[in-house]
Amino acid sequence: MKKLIIALVCATASLSAVAGGNVANGEALTKKYSCAACHGADFKTPIDPSYPKLAGQHADYIKHALTAYKRGDGPNGRNNAIMGGQVKPLSDRDIDDIAAYLHSLPSSLIVKR
């Protein structure tokens, strides 16, 4: 019985890690697709003030934004030639991993109440 409980705890921890995305793979993907070229080497100092700061951003927001760029002009999509081209080859798993990585970074974002 003790072995079964340990196995269930390990399986639960494993599933939650998968659901949150793979941070190491997300880091590799941001390098592969040169995300820092526009969003800054630390992902909090973009080259243009109109580009978003991504470090520490909520993973759900990043996933939503990347998915919307992938949709393009369609319903609930975002139209941007650069981002559309960047996200086109990404799988849902890749998007989860990138979101997990960017969320894990130290942030200069401030929450005001």
Note the pLDDT of residue 113: 61
Q: What domains are defined for the chain? A: 22-104 (1.10.760.10)
Q: Please check the confidence at residue 112 and state whether its pLDDT lies above 80.
A: no
Instruction: Give the global pTM.
Output: 0.78
Higher pLDDT, 108 or 24: 24
Q: Token digits for 109? A: 């974002």
CA 78/CA 71 separation, integer angstroms = 7
Place of tokens 């243009």: 48
Percent of the chain with pLDDT over 90: 71
